[in-house]
Chain A
Amino acid sequence: MLEFFGTLTHNWDIFSRGFLTTLKLFLVGAVGSLVLGTALATMRVCPIPVLRGLGAAYVNTVRNTPLTLVFAFLVFAAPKLGLDIAFEPAAYLALTIYTGAFICETLRSGINTVPLGQGEAARALGMTFGQVLYLIVLPQAFRTVVPPLISMLNAMLKNTTVAAGFSVVEAGAIQAYLSERGENQIYTLLWITLGFLCFVVPLIILQRYLEQKWAVAR
């Protein structure tokens, strides 16, 4: 038991550093992918066919590309094309590019639940496409997709561990450090799991809260 706690206390430097970076990756990735996902969803329901096509092309390409490949492109291929992105911004970008596509589709499924009559009524009042979307449709869409949206963010939280392979020291890199320091691997992995639980539990609580608060009566 003492050894189990020692694994955490003796290596607090790397644990705190790793999980702080994970938190940063998660927060930036969440905001970034929510913004990108909303923009993409707008494109996909927009009246301009070219934009709809572009949105669909982006989503279908990125959804079928492994996250590791997106990272590898930004870190190994981009410099060869003359694009110099530092490692941490590259991680933010990769997580946003990747998760954005999934958020877009989640949101689009929410948009589809909003009754057609709502949009028609709004247009009849003389609202533009932007107004219809951002004042009438999207608020209702967001409310409907709270559970899958939080699931997406939860998945992104775990996806942050991919960044360890691309020069960002986050929770996924802790194991490599502690293995080199000769710590017990099972204890290390247990502590990493517990660390992730500290992130996931608040997310679940947030989901419950928003679900109840924002429930749409139809």
Chain B
Amino acid sequence: MISCKFASLVGVAALAFVAALGGCSKNSSAPGGSGGAAADPLTGTGDKCASSGVKLTPATDVKIEGSKTFDKIKAAGKVVVGVKFDQPNLGYKDADGKRCGFDVEIAQLVASRLGIDPAKIEYKEIPSTNRETAIKGGEVDYYVGTYSISDKRKNDVGFAGPYFIAGQDLLLRKDEAAITSKETLKGKKVCSATGSTPLQRVRDQKLTEDENISEFKTYSECVSQLLDKKVDAVTTDDAILKGFAAQSPAKLKVLGQPFGQEKYGIGVNKEDTAFRNAINDILEAVAKDGTWKKIYDGTLGLSGSTATQPPVDRY
């Protein structure tokens, strides 16, 4: 009989779990409302997408000699672009399936200058860990999604750009007073994306203890943990954090002391130098005619930060 009593305890726990699960699914099926992205971190849906309004007309008679990628794009009449979908104001997909953000518009800009109507872009959501494989395997023609240029990555892929320079910063709850610099992170719980460079930097520089580091697949999951007070800071590139802060300005803030430097590039096939050069030409052209500035002001610039286009690094 003792065993039956124990079993009944387990049974009660089971019922509680079932009831709680029911409540959970009700929450997550509710449409993302007032809370923006943070209201529904699992699906990443939130407020509506708005573009910078820069008009992109496809160029005509574009020729790139000896580029396999371009030949493929030309033959298909469309371009396949790797993007992110959960980073507000950078690479984002709203509840209606519309895409927006700085990276998305840079991708559209490149497509239009390659002679492809931005409406004909086929977007592929490639998570950070699969980027090299997707580019190498030809799954995407190019990738635009907070892709930091690094020497190690250059072994696998080619980089056009940089088209933006970001620095690592901290996203905090609005009422957080104890964290005033990266040196005050000791003993605080810090969250970032699994395996990401910002996370490895926190580990290498011992900004906080190993057991205080939390990691999730996406930054939006970290932001959810931050709002639930299970972590004290989210760290990654300031551009990404400013996007989240702009979504819930009443609850979140960015520290504003960037450390380190991340150069965002456009990932292309390593062998296709002609294609890489062509994208670099495009980036240099938009620096001159002001299109880059217009896109920036209409997307990332909304977060209140100013930036200038970095010079292209042709290697």
Q: Contact residues of A with B, CB < 8 Å?
A: 36, 39-40, 42-43, 46, 48, 50-51, 54-55, 57-58, 61-62, 65, 69, 72-73, 76-81, 84, 87, 97, 128-130, 133-134, 164-167, 169, 173, 175-182, 185
Contacts and interface: CB of A to CB of B under 8 A. Distances in A.
A164 B217 CA distance: 8
B86 interface: no
Given A57-B18, A73-B20, A173-B194, A79 B215 contact: no
Interface stretch (B2-10, B163-171, B285-293, B303-311): B2-10
Contacts of B229: 79
B194 A164 contact: yes
Contacts of B181: none
Contacts of A69: 21
B184 interface: no
B196 interface: yes
Given A36-B10, A76-B224, A179-B129, A165 B18 contact: no
A41 to B, nearest CB: 9
A83 B155 CA distance: 46
B14 A54 contact: yes
A12 B155 CA distance: 21
Contact of A165 (B128, B152, B217): B217
Interface of B: 1-4, 6-8, 10-12, 14-15, 17-18, 20-21, 23-24, 27-28, 41-42, 128-133, 150-153, 155-156, 191, 193-197, 200, 214-217, 221, 224-225, 228-230
A181 B201 CA distance: 11
A46 B4 contact: yes
B14 A58 contact: yes
A54 B24 CA distance: 20
A173 B3 contact: no
20 contacts: A42-B6, A51-B7, A54-B8, A54-B11, A55-B14, A58-B10, A58-B15, A58-B18, A69-B21, A76-B42, A79-B225, A79-B228, A166-B216, A175-B195, A176-B196, A177-B195, A179-B195, A180-B196, A181-B152, A182-B152
A179 B216 contact: no
Contact of A167 (B1, B18, B195, B216): B216
B10 A39 contact: yes
A57 B14 contact: yes
Given A48-B4, A129-B1, A182-B150, A43 B10 contact: yes
B223 to A, nearest CB: 11
B195 A61 contact: no
B23 A81 contact: yes
Given A55-B7, A73-B20, A179 B128 contact: yes
B156 A39 contact: no
Contacts of A54: 8, 11-12, 14-15
Nearest to B194: A176
Contacts of B151: 182
B25 to A, nearest CB: 8
Give the secondary structure class of B's interface: helix
A128 B1 contact: yes
Contact of B18 (A48, A61, A76, A134): A61
Contacts of B150: 182
A67 to B, nearest CB: 13
Nearest to A167: B214
Given A57-B15, A79-B230, A182-B153, A43 B7 contact: yes
Given A55-B11, A180-B200, A173 B27 contact: no
Given A73-B20, A79-B230, A130 B224 contact: no
Contact of B24 (A73, A128, A179): A73
A80 B20 CA distance: 11
B228 A180 contact: no
Nearest to A93: B17
A73 B21 CA distance: 7
Contacts of B130: 179
Contacts of B230: 79, 84
B237 to A, nearest CB: 14
Contacts of B23: 77, 81
A85 to B, nearest CB: 9
Contacts of A130: 1-4
Contacts of B2: 130
Nearest to B230: A79
Contacts of A97: 17
Q: Which 6 A-B pairs have the closest CB atoms?
A: A182-B152, A176-B195, A54-B11, A58-B14, A177-B195, A79-B228
B116 to A, nearest CB: 29
A46 B7 contact: yes
A46 B225 CA distance: 41
Nearest to B154: A182
Given A51-B11, A179-B129, A81 B4 contact: no
